[in-house]
Structure 1
Amino acid sequence: MPDIPACPLCAMENTYPDGDNFVCADCGHEWPIVAAAESGQADMPVRDVNGNVLCAGDMVTVIKDLKVKGSSIPLKQGTVIRNIRLVEGDSEHIEGSSDKIRGLVLKTCFLRKA
């Protein structure tokens, strides 16, 4: 039996094939089987901790204190990251810079859209 992908909308794995479409039993989203097979995995939008879609150039805020590898300066809660860049093929990370630290790669689960 071929692998059935998780829902591209809600990321739940309770999906099943129905004719020419996959169907998510949790949210009711349907998407074509052919498109999922061609792309391997549908491009997921980059979302912050609250589910807001992030775009390149947005401004985000850190929601908790984070230790930064290679630096003795932590990112404090409320730190603003301006002009973010999206990581190609990865919906869980963004790139950006704070006022004190340059070249950060941050997980979106610690960020909210400002």
Structure 2
Amino acid sequence: MPGIPACPQCGLPNTYADGDIHVCADCGHEWPGAVAETAAVAATRDVNGNVLAAGDSVVVIKDLKVKGTSIPLKQGTVIRNIRLVEDDPEHIEGNSDRIKGLVLKTCFLRKG
């Protein structure tokens, strides 16, 4: 089901809603539905699942072409002092040493 998050205990996605609670079919863990959905929306996570916060440093995991410039963002580039994009946990804002004003998808970043 698209709106139900993965189990917070075992991390497996085989979950379902049972009234006001969510249930994991694999481990049997039960948790309140409203609390889990708001926590899942609010967290910005990197490619490994680590929670990102404003001011963190992240590392680019693959070479990326940057629109508006001829300079690519190379694998291993460190983006320091990131800012979280409000209402969008899939993107962060930051600056590299050579390119300013970047908006990057979190699926290409790991916490550094």
Question: TM over 0.5: same fold?
Answer: yes
The corresponding residue for 2:18 is 18
The corresponding residue for 2:32 is 32
Report the Cα offset of residue 22 of structure 1: 1.8
Report the Cα offset of residue 89 of structure 1: 1.4
The corresponding residue for 1:100 is 98
Distance 1:53-1:89 versus aligned 2 partners, 3 A rule: same
TM-score scaled by length of structure 1: 0.77
The reply on whether 1:56 has 2:60 as its aligned counterpart is no
TM-score scaled by length of structure 2: 0.79
- CA RMSD in angstroms, aligned pairs only: 2.7
Q: Which runs of 5+ in 2 are unaligned?
A: none
Contact 2:82 2:94 in 1 (8 A): yes
Distance 1:21-1:4 versus aligned 2 partners, 3 A rule: farther
Contact 2:57 2:81 in 1 (8 A): yes
Q: Which runs of 5+ in 1 are unaligned?
A: none
Q: Report which of the two has the higher share of strand.
A: 2
Contact 1:7 1:29 in 2 (8 A): no
Aligned partners of 1:27, 1:90: CA distance in 2, in Å?
A: 30
Aligned partners of 1:60, 1:4: CA distance in 2, in Å?
A: 29
